[in-house]
């Protein structure tokens, strides 16, 4: 899962709870969809690399051709999507 690059501990927790048939994990995961969906606003791995850079995990969001960096507009959209999820970025 692409979102596991951004929140690996949370993904492990959610999958474990789902395997244990914990119904509450559905709503908790659903509440996260805004930032998860933002990882698909451009071709992967472009948004994921930008998020990892913003999080301080990697030094650059540089991509190789034929990929190109995300536009500033998309970067702004992704920042807004992550804004309400403290600790992710």
Nearest C-alpha neighbor of 47 from the set 71, 65, 83, 11: 71
pLDDT of residue 48: 93
| DSSP class per residue in 3-21 | GGGT-HHHHHHHHHHHHTT
What is the reported pLDDT for 89?
62
Query: What is the mean pLDDT of each successive set of 10 residues along the chain, which is 89 residues long?
Result: 87 92 89 90 92 91 92 93 77
pLDDT at 87: 67
As a whole number of angstroms, the distance between CA 22 and CA 40 comes to: 27
> Is the separation of the CB atoms in 60 and 53 below 8 Å?
yes
């Amino acid at each position: 899962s692409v979102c596991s690059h951004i929140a690996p501990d949370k993904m492990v927790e959610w999958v474990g709870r789902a395997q244990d048939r914990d119904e509450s994990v559905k709503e908790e995961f659903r509440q996260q969809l805004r930032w998860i969906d933002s990882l698909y606003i451009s071709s992967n791995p472009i948004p994921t690399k930008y998020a990892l850079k913003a999080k301080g995990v990697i030094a650059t969001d540089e991509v190789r051709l034929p990929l190109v960096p995300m536009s500033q507009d998309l970067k702004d959209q992704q920042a807004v999507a992550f804004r309400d999820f403290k600790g992710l970025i």
